Amino acid sequence: MKTILLVDDDPDQLEQLKFQVIRFGYHPVTACSQKEGELLLEEITPDLAIIDLMMENQDSGFILSYRIKQKFPQVPVIIITAVTAECGMKFSLETEDDKRWIKADKYIEKGIRPDQLHREINKLLKV
């Protein structure tokens, strides 16, 4: 079974992600901060990671994503966030320029429908 690392500082958002990931048939491992996420990476190698953007710091997700890519370049990372709704900032990973500074494979807004999330995960895991 493939392991998915989930990191979110809101316990309920984390719980809901976990619930969905189990439903999709994956094994979730959870952390509630960038710091905890980094510690977990000492012990496990996930097949994919889904991380919230704003945790301890506003860019915690970017940093964690960067660390994951440093350690396991092959592990796909999804950054999930409500930042656009919160502050109007838009990020995307469409151009090469975006990809150079945001080290993630997919960037999605919170409130994504479970079936869409499922599709994105499967795409990145090449299932």
Q: Which positions lie near another protein, rule CB under 8 A?
A: 9-16, 19, 23, 31-33, 35-36, 54-56, 82, 86-87, 110-111, 114
Task: Please report how close the Cβ of residue 78 comes to another protein at its closest, in angstroms.
Answer: 17
CA distance 124 to 6: 15
Q: How far is the CB of 95 from another protein (least distance, A)?
A: 28
Nearer to another protein by Cβ, of 53 and 124: the residue is 53
- Which one, 76 or 81, has the nearer CB to another protein? 81
Q: Which lies closer to another protein via its Cβ, residue 53 or residue 76?
A: 53
What is the DSSP code string of 91-127? ----SHHHHHHS--SEEEETT--HHHHHHHHHHHHT-
Residues 66, 77: Cα–Cα separation, whole Å? 9
DSSP string, 56-86: SSTTHHHHHHHHHHHH-TTS-EEEEE-HHHH
Closest distance of CB 93 from another protein, Å: 23
Nearest distance, CB of residue 88 and another protein, angstroms = 11
Nearer to another protein, 25 or 98 (CB): 25
Give the integer Cα–Cα distance in Å for 92 and 100. 11
